[in-house]
Structure 1
Amino acid sequence: MGKGWKIFLSISFFFLIIILTISILSYRLLNKSLPKTTGSTVLTILNQPVEVYRDEYGVPHIFAGNESDLFRAAGFVAAQDRLWQMDFSRRVANGQLSEIFGEITVDHDKFVRIWGFKRTAEEIVEILSPESRLALNAYADGVNAFIETHTKQLPIEFSLLNYQPEKWKIEDSIAFVRLMGWKLSFGWYTDLVLQELVAKLGEKKAREVFPDFPKDGPFILPASHQHVWAKTRNFINSGLQVQDFLGFGSAHLGSNSWVVSGEKSECGKPLLANDPHLELRAPSVWYEMHLSGGEINVAGVSFPGVPGIVIGHNEYIAWGLTNGMIDDVDFYLEKINPDNASQYLNGSRWQDFEIVTEEIKIKDAEPESLQIQFSRNGPIISDFHPTLKNMDKAVSMRWVGHEASDELLAYLKVQKSKSWDEFTEALRHYKVPAQNFVFAAANGDIGYHLAGGIPLRSRTNGVLPHEGWKTKGQWLGQVPFEKLPNILNPPENYIVAANNKIVDDRYPYYLSNLWEPSSRASRIQQLLSAKEKFSLDDFKAIQTDIVSFHAQTVLPVVVNIMEAVIDSNSSEDLKSIYNLMKDWDGRESPTSIATSIFHTFFLRLTENTLKDEMGDQLFENYIRFGNVPNRVMAALLKKGNSEWFDNVNTPEVETVEDIMKRSLLDAGTQLRGLAGAIITNWAWGEIHTLTMRHPLGRENLLDVIFNIGPFPRGGSSMTLNNSEYRFDLPFQATLGASTRQLVDLCDLNHTLSVITTGQSGQRMSKHYKDQTPLWLEGQYRSLMMGRNEIIETAQEHLTLTPL
Structure 2
Amino acid sequence: MSKRRLYWLVSILLIPGLIVLVVGGTLYWLAKRAEPSYSGAVALSGLAHPVEVRFGPHAVPTIEASNLRDLLFAQGYVTASERMWQMDLLRRLGGGRLAELFGPEVVKVDRFFRTVGLPVEARRALDTLDDAERALLDAYAAGVNAYREAARDRRPLEYRLTGLEPAPWQPEDSLVIGAYMAWTQSFNARGELTFLRLARRIGPERTRLLFPTDEGIAPPEVPPELVEYLAATPTAASSPDPGFDIAALAPILDYPARLGLPTPTAASNAWLATGKRTATGEALLADDPHLAFSMPGIWYELELIAPDLHAAGVSLPGVPLVLIGHNADLAWGFTSVIADTQDIFIERPTADGLAVERDGRAPEPIRLRHETIRVRGADPVEIAIRSTSRGVVLNDILGETTGTPMDLTDPGLTDLIVLRQNHDRPDRSFQAMRGLCRSGTLDEARAAGLDFRHVATNLMLAHRDGGIAWQMTGVLPQRGRGAGAFPNPGWIDDYAWQGEAPQSLNPSLANPPDGVIVTANQRTIPEDYPIRVSNAWMSPHRAQRITARLDESGPLTPESMAGIQADRISLQGRMMLSSLRRLESEIRALDPDAWAIAEDHLLDWDGAMDAASRPAAFAARLEPALFQALYGDELGEDLPFLLSMTLLAYSPLQETLRTGESAFWDDVTTPEIETPAAIWARALHAARTALAADGDDVRLDDIRSIRFTHAFDKVPLLGDLFSVGPIGVGGSSDTVDVIKTQPQEPGKGLFGASVRFVATPADWSRTRGTLTLGQSGHRFSPYRADQLQDWLAVHAHPWPWNGPDEAQTLGRLRLDPPDAGGRFGR
Listed one character per residue, the Cα deviations across residues 350-400 of structure 1 (whole Å, up to 9, x for unaligned) are 333221222222333333222111112221112332255997631211111
Equivalent residue of 1:455, what SS? coil
Taking the aligned partners of 1:54 and 1:308, their CA distance within structure 2 comes to: 18
Residue equivalent to 2:555: 533
User: Any conservation in 2 of the 1:250–1:625 contact (CA below 8 Å)?
Assistant: no
> Match for residue 378 of structure 2?
365
Q: Answer yes or no: is the 8 Å Cα contact 2:258–2:709 preserved in 1.
A: no
Q: Does the C-alpha gap of structure 1 residues 135 and 389 become closer, same or farther in structure 2, counting only changes over 3 Å?
A: same
Amino acid at match of 2:720: V
CA contact (8 A) 1:750 1:784 kept: no
Quick one: which of 570, 588, 593 aligns to 1:548?
570
* CA pair 250-276 structure 1, distance change in 2 beyond 3 A: same
Aligned to 2:400: 386
Q: Is the 8 A contact 1:248 1:278 kept in 2?
A: no
Partners of 1:226 and 1:294 lie apart in 2 by: 65
Do the aligned partners of 1:562 and 1:660 also contact (CA within 8 Å) in 2?
Answer: no
Q: Distance between the aligned counterparts of 1:51 and 1:283, measured in 2?
A: 25
656, 659, 668: which is aligned to 2:676?
Answer: 656
Q: Contact 2:338 / 2:521 at 8 angstroms: preserved in 1?
A: yes
> What CA deviation, in whole Å up to 9, does each residue of 1:493-512 have, x standing for no partner?
11001100021111111111
What does 1:439-454 align with in structure 2 at a 5 Å threshold?
439-454=461-476
Q: Does the 8 A contact of 1:344 with 1:353 survive in 2?
A: yes
Name the counterpart of 1:592: 613
Mapped to 2, the partners of 1:299 and 1:672 lie a distance apart of 49
- Answer whether contact 1:606 1:629 (CA < 8 A) is retained: no
2:388 aligned partner: 375
Q: Shift of residue 346 of structure 1?
A: 5.2
Task: Give the letter aligned to residue 344 of structure 1.
Answer: V
Once the two structures are overlaid, the 10-residue window that deviates more, 230-239 or 596-605, is: 230-239
The alpha-carbon distance between structure 1 residues 31 and 661, as it changes in their structure 2 partners (threshold 3 A), is same
1:397 aligned residue: 419
Q: Does 1:794 align with 2:809?
A: yes
The corresponding residue for 2:278 is 265
State the partner residue of 2:207.
Answer: 206
Structure 1 residues 250-288: Cα deviation after superposition (integer angstroms, max 9, x where no partner): 864210000111111112111110000111111001111
Structure 2 distance, partners of 1:267, 1:509, is 38
Runs of 5+ unmatched residues, structure 2 = 214-218, 235-240, 402-409, 819-826
Matched residue, 1:194: 195
Q: How does 1:428-443 map to 2 (within 5 A)?
A: 428-443=450-465
- Aligned pair count reads 795
Tell me which residue corresponds to 2:407: none
* 1-structure distance, mates of 2:452, 2:642: 31
One-letter amino acid of the structure 2 residue matched with residue 194 of structure 1 = F
One-letter amino acid matched to 2:780: M
Under a length normalisation based on structure 2, what TM-score does the superposition of the two structures give? Answer: 0.92
Partner of 1:625: 645
- Show the counterpart of 1:276: 289
Distance 2:280 2:649 in 1: 42
Instruction: Name the CA distance, whole Å, in 2 between partners of 1:6 and 1:309.
Output: 62
Indicate yes or no: 2:174 matched with 1:173: yes
Match for 1:413 among 435, 450, 464? 435
Return the alpha-carbon distance in structure 2 between the equivalents of residues 515 and 641 of structure 1: 20
Aligned equivalents of 2:782, 2:429: Cα separation in 1:
34
**Shift in Å at residue 232 of structure 1?**
5.9
Using the alignment, how far apart are the partners of 2:591 and 2:651 within structure 1? 33
Q: Report the Cα offset of residue 669 of structure 1.
A: 1.2
TM-score calculated relative to the size of structure 1:
0.95
Superposed, which structure 2 residues align to 1:5-404 within 5 Å? 5-212=6-213, 213-215=219-221, 217-218=223-224, 220-223=227-230, 226=233, 230-231=243-244, 233=246, 236-242=249-255, 244-245=257-258, 252-338=265-351, 340-345=352-357, 348-384=361-397, 385-386=399-400, 388=410, 393-401=415-423, 403-404=425-426
Closer/same/farther in 2, CA of residues 580 and 476 from structure 1, 3 Å limit: same
Q: Distance in 1 between matches of 2:14 and 2:591?
A: 68
Q: Distance in 1 between matches of 2:583 and 2:74?
A: 63
In the alignment, structure 1 residue 518 sits paired with structure 2 residue 540: yes
Shift of 1:703: 1.8
Return the alpha-carbon distance in structure 2 between the equivalents of residues 743 and 688 of structure 1: 31
Do 1:689 and 1:733's aligned partners in 2 also have CA atoms closer than 8 Å? yes
1:801 CA drift (Å): 0.3
Q: Distance in 1 between matches of 2:391 and 2:255?
A: 21
CA distance in 2, matches of 1:438, 1:665: 45
Q: Is the 8 A contact 2:757 2:770 kept in 1?
A: yes
Q: Give the letter for the 2:743 counterpart.
A: F
Query: 1 CA distance for matches of 2:639 and 2:607?
Result: 27
Indicate conservation of the 8 Å contact 1:641/1:655, yes or no: no
Q: Percent identity?
A: 29
* Gap change, CA 1:165 and 1:275, over 3 Å in 2: same
Q: Which residue number corresponds to residue 516 of structure 2?
A: 494
Offset from partner CA, 1:464-486 (integer Å, 9 cap, x none) = 22232432122222221221111
Distance, in Å, in 1 between the alignment partners of 2:242 and 2:369 is: 23
- Distance in 1, matches of 2:107 and 2:232, equals 30
Of 604, 608, 615, the match for 2:636: 615
* SS of residue paired to 1:709: strand
- Partners of 1:705 and 1:658 in 2: CA distance: 48
State the partner residue of 2:485: 463
Distance 1:726 1:231, change over 3 A: closer
Q: Secondary structure at the match of 1:495?
A: strand
Q: Which residue of the partner structure matches residue 731 of structure 1? A: 747
| Superposed displacement of residue 204, structure 1 | 3.5
Change beyond 3 A, Cα 1:239–1:189: farther
Summarize the Cα distance change of 1:438–1:628 in structure 2 as closer, same or farther, 3 Å threshold. Answer: closer
CA separation of 1:574 and 1:702: change in aligned 2, threshold 3 A:
farther
Q: Note closer, same or farther for the CA distance 1:481–1:566 as it changes in structure 2 (3 Å cut).
A: same
Task: Please give the per-residue CA displacement for 1:132-184, whole angstroms capped at 9, x wherever unaligned.
Answer: 32221111110011112211211111122211111111111111111111111
Contact 1:178 1:401 in 2 (8 A): no
Distance 2:644 2:347 in 1: 28
Aligned to 1:763: 779
Q: For 1:320 and 1:395, how far apart are their aligned partners in 2?
A: 36
- Deviation per CA, 1:665-700: give whole Å up to 9, x if none: 111111122x21x2x2x1001111111111211222
Q: Deviations over 1:196-231 (max 9, x none)?
A: 333332344223211022136325142487479934
Q: Is the 8 A contact 1:419 1:441 kept in 2?
A: yes
Tell me the CA shift for residue 792 of structure 1. Answer: 5.0
Mapping for residues 681-696 of structure 1, pairs under 5 Å? 682-696=698-712
Q: Is the 8 A contact 2:40 2:814 kept in 1?
A: yes
Aligned in 2, Cα 1:440/1:630: closer, same or farther, shift over 3 Å?
A: closer
* 1:747 aligns to 2:752 (yes or no): no
RMSD of aligned C-alpha atoms?
2.3
